[in-house]
Structure formats: structure tokens, C-alpha cells
């Protein structure tokens, strides 16, 4: 161990080791431990995108390359489905690009699920484009390049800017600002690549709809933790829009051990009626720390980072959430993308 490393970097290395314990032989990451009974022993597209961010921050490009090779191979395996969707525009959830896969075989899971998750496809495009721009961080063959174009065409076929999806929380179908923003970020990243064609109206329609929705997340949600993604990692909002998002999240949602996702969130809600005792999501603390670090507000970044450090369990892991006003967490531990954003926050605040 290098004793010259700062405490934050040493802590980050510990949590990178935890993340590596969730990696399958293919390079994909499980959402949580393989022995959990909650179904989190699967590989989510979105979770793998967010998990990649920690290893990119740590300059561990071998893991990043292996991960994104597998993600591309998932799409190539299901190319016929994507071709069909481009031609016919999906109208049933199962016809959309699925959200979860077997980490070893890349097969879809067929139980009933909110598979309409346009944000996940947008996030994949965003990172593929980013890695291409970084040079030598990803190896693409011609089929990979064609598949990236097909993902653009798929999102156009959906008319993503007006397509109700289940969004980042995989719940009720609405037009979500966070989903539109993720797709926009992806389109911005790939539109200048010489092997990708993106129509200008595809971007302009998304921009118009996003600006019209903000600062709301959707028709039913005036605010949502997911809106932080528009600031980091996607950076698709103006500073005044970003400030309003952060102000709303801090004022309405900040709790002692995390950030609630939205008002009256029923997932692990302590109240039997599903009101007012929303679960406290640990990832929100790291998310706010990262954003304040990017804004140059070291003081606020450190406040949220210290809060995030306090919710780490005795065995050094980060759970998905804590029950409202209680030092009790749920079974999804460690949660890969919570671990990842904590690592990013440690690096950003170092």
C-alpha cells in the first residue's frame, strides 16, 4: 500500500475492490451481491454504465474496455430485435431493449418488468461516444459502429422525446425529463463521429421537450432525485436549471442517511400507507458531493462526502438505502452504482 496516498484515495481503492467482487467473468457487473434474494444478482444496462464511471475515474481502463465489450455484445446478440423495433416502433414493454441481462449468457430476463427505459439506452450511447472521443479507451469494429447507429435509429423510431417510459426507477410510464436528458446526452456525444448520423430534429425535439418539462421530472412528479443525472454525468442543462434542480433536491429530499427519490415513494416506505416515510437512498449523498465538486464548491462537496462516509456499514459496504429515520438498511448491499458514485465523489473531492 502506498502510504503517500490521501485518505480519500485509499478509501476509494477499498470500494473499488468491493466493486470488483461484483464483476462476472464476462466483465459485466451485478447490481448487488450474487447471493441476494431480491433479484439484484443480474446485470442492468444502467447500473453497468454508472459502475463504469468509478473505474474511469481510477484510470482502470482494462476493466472499462472489458465491460463495454460485453455491453456491445449484448446489443449484437439481440440485433434482430433492435432491427424490428427500428422498423415497427415498439408498443409493448417486451418489445423494447431490455433493461436486465444474464451476466454470463447475455440473455434477456422474461418476467414482467418495466423494460421501457430509454434513459439506459441513452446512457450507453453517451459513454460509448465519450470513450471513442477519449481515444484508445475502446476498440470498435465495423459491427460495433453499425450497432451504435442502430441505437440512434432505435431512439428515433421511439420518438423518445414524447415516449412514456419507466425511467431510471423502472416504475410508472410517463415522459421523464431524466430519460430525455440521458438520450440527448448520448446524441450530443455521438453526433460528430464520422460513422454516426443524427438528424438535427431528433436533437431539437428532445431539447424543446426537456426545457418544457423542467424543473419537473414528469407530469406527476414535481421533483425527483433522478434529475441530478442531468447535471452529472450528462451535463445537458444550463447552470440556472442545474441550480434549481439541486436546490429542490436539497430542500425537499435531503435526509440524514440519504436522499429520497421522490415524494410518496412506496419502495421500502416504512409507513404502511406508503406516505411520508420514504426510504433514504445513499447514492444521493455522493451525487450531490460530485456536483458541488464540479462546481468548485469544496465546502459543500465535503459536507455531502462526509455524510456518505457515515452511512458505510461496519464491514465497509454501501447499501441501496436506509429506512426512514432509522439506522436499518435493506438487503441490496453492496449496491454497485452507489459504490461507484461514492468512489467518484472521493476522487473529485481529493
**Which strand (E) or helix (H) includes residue 124?**
helix 118-134
Quote the CA–CA distance of 347 and 341 in Å, as a whole number.
Answer: 10
Q: Average of pLDDT values for 77-105?
A: 95
pLDDT above 70 (res 3): no
pLDDT digits 0-9 by tens, 46-89: 999 999 999 999 999 999 999 999 999 999 999 999 999 999 99
Q: What is the pLDDT of residue 115?
A: 86
pLDDT above 90 (res 2): no
CB distance 165 to 119 below 8 Å? yes
Local structure of residue 73 (DSSP, 8 states):
H
- 255 found inside a domain: yes
pLDDT above 90 (res 45): yes
Q: Please, which pLDDT band fits residue 113 given cuts at 50, 70 and 90?
A: confident
pLDDT digits 0-9 by tens, 196-220: 999 999 999 999 999 999 999 999 9
pLDDT digits 0-9 by tens, 20-34: 999 999 999 999 999
Least Cα distance to 226 among 301, 292, 169 occurs for 169
Please, what sign has the CA dihedral across residues 173, 178, 184, 190? negative
- 286 found inside a domain: yes
Dihedral angle, C-alpha 234, 56, 68, 242, nearest 10 °: -10
CB distance 120 to 176 below 8 Å? no
- 243 found inside a domain: yes
The residue assigned the cell 414482467 is 112
- 2 found inside a domain: no
- 1 found inside a domain: no
Percent of the chain residues topping a pLDDT of 70: 99
Q: What is the pLDDT of residue 253?
A: 98
- Mean pLDDT score of the chain, rounded to an integer? 96
- 185 found inside a domain: yes
- 194 found inside a domain: yes
Q: What is the pLDDT of residue 42?
A: 95
Pairing, β 280-281 against β 100-101: unpaired
Q: Which three cell numbers stand for residue 271?
A: 409507513
Strand-pair partners of 165: 174
Q: What is the pLDDT of residue 121?
A: 98
Q: What is the pLDDT of residue 270?
A: 94
pLDDT above 70 (res 297): yes
Q: Please, which pLDDT band fits residue 290 given cuts at 50, 70 and 90?
A: very high
pLDDT digits 0-9 by tens, 232-257: 999 999 999 999 999 999 999 999 99
pLDDT above 60 (res 1): no
Q: Average of pLDDT values for 155-160?
A: 98
Structural domain range at position 165 = 7-348
CATH number at residue 40: 1.50.10.10
Q: What is the pLDDT of residue 274?
A: 81
CB distance 252 to 263 below 8 Å? yes
Q: What is the pLDDT of residue 178?
A: 98
- 96 found inside a domain: yes
CB distance 20 to 27 below 8 Å? no
Please count the structural domains in the chain. 1
Quote the CA–CA distance of 41 and 230 in Å, as a whole number.
Answer: 28
Amino acid at each position: 500500500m502506498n502510504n503517500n496516498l490521501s485518505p480519500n484515495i485509499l478509501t476509494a481503492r477499498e470500494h473499488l475492490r468491493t466493486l470488483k467482487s461484483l464483476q462476472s467473468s464476462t466483465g459485466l457487473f451485478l447490481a448487488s451481491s450474487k447471493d441476494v434474494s431480491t433479484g439484484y444478482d443480474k446485470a442492468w444496462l444502467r447500473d453497468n454504465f454508472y459502475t463504469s464511471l468509478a473505474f474511469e475515474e481510477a484510470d482502470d481502463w482494462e476493466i472499462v474496455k472489458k465491460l463495454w465489450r460485453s455491453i456491445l455484445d449484448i446489443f449484437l446478440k439481440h440485433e434482430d430485435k433492435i432491427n424490428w423495433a427500428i422498423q415497427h416502433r415498439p408498443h409493448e414493454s417486451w418489445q423494447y431493449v431490455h433493461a436486465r441481462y444474464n451476466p454470463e449468457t447475455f440473455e434477456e430476463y422474461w418476467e414482467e418488468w418495466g423494460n421501457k427505459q430509454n434513459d439506459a439506452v441513452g446512457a450507453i450511447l453517451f459513454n460509448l461516444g465519450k470513450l471513442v472521443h477519449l481515444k484508445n479507451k475502446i476498440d470498435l469494429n465495423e459491427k460495433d459502429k453499425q450497432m451504435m447507429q442502430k441505437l440512434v435509429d432505435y431512439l428515433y423510431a421511439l420518438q423518445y422525446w414524447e415516449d412514456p417510459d419507466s425511467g431510471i426507477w423502472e416504475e410508472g410510464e410517463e415522459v421523464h425529463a431524466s430519460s430525455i436528458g440521458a438520450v440527448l446526452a448520448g446524441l450530443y456525444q455521438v453526433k460528430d463521429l464520422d460513422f454516426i448520423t443524427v438528424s438535427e430534429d431528433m436533437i431539437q425535439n428532445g431539447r424543446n421537450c426537456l426545457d418544457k418539462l423542467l424543473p419537473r421530472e414528469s407530469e406527476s412528479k414535481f421533483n425527483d432525485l433522478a434529475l441530478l443525472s442531468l447535471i452529472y454525468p450528462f451535463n445537458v442543462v444550463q447552470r440556472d436549471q442545474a441550480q434549481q434542480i439541486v436546490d429542490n433536491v436539497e430542500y425537499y429530499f435531503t435526509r440524514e442517511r440519504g436522499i429520497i427519490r421522490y415524494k410518496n415513494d412506496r419502495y421500502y416506505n416504512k409507513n404502511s400507507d406508503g406516505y411520508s416515510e420514504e426510504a433514504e437512498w445513499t447514492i444521493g449523498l455522493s451525487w450531490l458531493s460530485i456536483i458541488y465538486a464540479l462546481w468548485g464548491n469544496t465546502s459543500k462537496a465535503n459536507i455531502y462526502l462526509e455524510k456518505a462516509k457515515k452511512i458505510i456499514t461496519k464491514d465497509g459496504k454501501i447499501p441501496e438505502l436506509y429506512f426512514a429515520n432509522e439506522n436499518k438498511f435493506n438487503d441490496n448491499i453492496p449496491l454497485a452504482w452507489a459504490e461507484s458514485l461514492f468512489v467518484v465523489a472521493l476522487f473529485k473531492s481529493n
